[in-house]
Amino acid sequence: MATTTWKNMPRPTKPTWLLTTTLTFAVTLLATGNVAGTGGTAAVGAAPRPSLDTSNVSLLSGKWGDDAADAVALAGGARNRPEHDPGSLYTVTRAIGARKLWKHTDPAGRELTGAGVTIALLDSGVSAVPGLDAPGKIMYGPDLSGAPVVGSTQDNFGHGTFMAGLLAAQGPAMAADGKPASAENARPDVQEGLAPGANLLSLKLAGADGSTSVAAVITGLAWVVAHQHDQGMNVRVVNLSFGASALQPYQLDPLAAAAEAAWKSGIVVVASVGNEGATSGGLLDPAMDPFVISVGASDPHARVAGWGKPAVAEFSSSGTADRHADLVAPGTSLVSLRVPGSTVDLANPQGQVAGDVSGRLFRGSGTSQAAAVVSGAVALLLQAHPELSPDQVKATLVTTAQLLPAASPLTAGAGQIDLEAALNADDRWASKKGQPAALDTPQAFPASTGLDGIELGGLVGSWDGARWNGARWNGARWNGARWNGARWNGARWNDGDWS
């Protein structure tokens, strides 16, 4: 099979381990292989099977609020002015070219706003706040949070709704004269996510304390693959704004294998690299898997024009020569939707956007935000060219990214996402005129075998047309699930945070 030749793409010639602990899981090999220390190599022998523990701990979010960005956005006045705000949805959608894509149409004559594409969001749930409350905007899958208060339609933590706003917020498209307008002509203060026409599938993995487990993520990914076309959905993207640090290479990792399974089913998997900065020593799991799109964060240094020549955010995790971020996207001081009374909201009053008279907006930084920006961008490309495979989408984004000459490829990857250039490349490929050869070169990395021998079973429940009713696993509650005949044990999210 041909070797991948995309620029700045890593070659996983040897496995890497993340030694710094953000979301840690201890690995127990149950077969004849063994692990020599925290960074050792697995012995060759019978296929090892790691076992996982579903213990939950609180997950903390990235940085919320930014006085410098707030001051710039006020522009000497008392109200937030989105056109002056370096992190507003208006600014970000302009900076990476999304608003230019909204002016294009698909073969059916629809504006390129993500229409017809469903983005799966595995997070803390999504609340139907204004901007996400249009009929049919959100479909709700199973609640895997294990929270004592049932509410798969509620985001008690606040992280998932913020990401959903970046992905697909859809405000009333009003022009300056107050009349209805198309998305690209909407006023700057109208909250439009990257793909305002896309639908969302929300799977709630975390409750009010922000805790989840590796097992819940694997379950969620498996459920999305099994139901990606149910109820009129067209799940082509899954956003993973979190990560775990693994003590095993991706080739043996169950979470990486679950992400690959989604990728191979035709779903583009977008994962954040982590918020551990230049000393991280590697990417979080599943971003460490070379098949998926791993996203770091860029920083305009509190300037609207700064997105033209951004830096890599100081918090964005650095990779290795073998595996690093594929690209970066805006992830510093971004503005999205607030969940009043949520854990994040109550714990971070500084996150409320200064001068926001609506009280709807919140400001946050992290590679979580950057991943959501890319996921929304992917939905636009897939509306324009639904025939693209996940490998082709990734090749498009990597080969057309804006190079950041002053940044190391270990943190910046190929550079910052450039949607207009990406669409142009896809158009050339589709017309067979000067087509980029990379789009016809499949990724040829070794596949993960981390789920071999594991029976995932299935969640028992039903759709009522909007949400999944029931969250049982093989007829028993999740804590009764078993891993190849043994309890899930040995792996948990520890001292972790959403990226």
- Strand partners for 364: 64, 334
Count of other CB atoms within 10 angstroms of residue 399: 20
> β-strand 235-240 against 468-473: which pairing, if any?
unpaired
Residue pLDDT, tens place only, 458-480: 565 665 656 666 543 332 233 22
Query: How far is Cα of residue 318 from the mean position of the Cα atoms in its chain?
Result: 17
Distance CA 299, CA 308 (A): 10
Q: What is the Rg, in whole angstroms, of the alpha carbon atoms belonging to the chain?
A: 21
pLDDT score, position 148: 61
- In the 3-class helix/strand/coil scheme, how is 64-106 assigned residue by residue? ECCHHHHHHHHCCCCCCCHHHCCCCHHHHHHHCCHHHHCCCEC
Count of other CB atoms within 10 angstroms of residue 467: 18
pLDDT score, position 51: 43
Residue pLDDT, tens place only, 370-408: 999 999 999 999 999 999 999 999 999 999 999 999 999
pLDDT score, position 171: 83
Q: What percent of the chain has pLDDT over 90?
A: 63
pLDDT score, position 432: 77
Residue pLDDT, tens place only, 169-212: 998 764 445 444 567 677 888 889 999 999 999 999 988 888 78
Tokens of 498: 């959403």
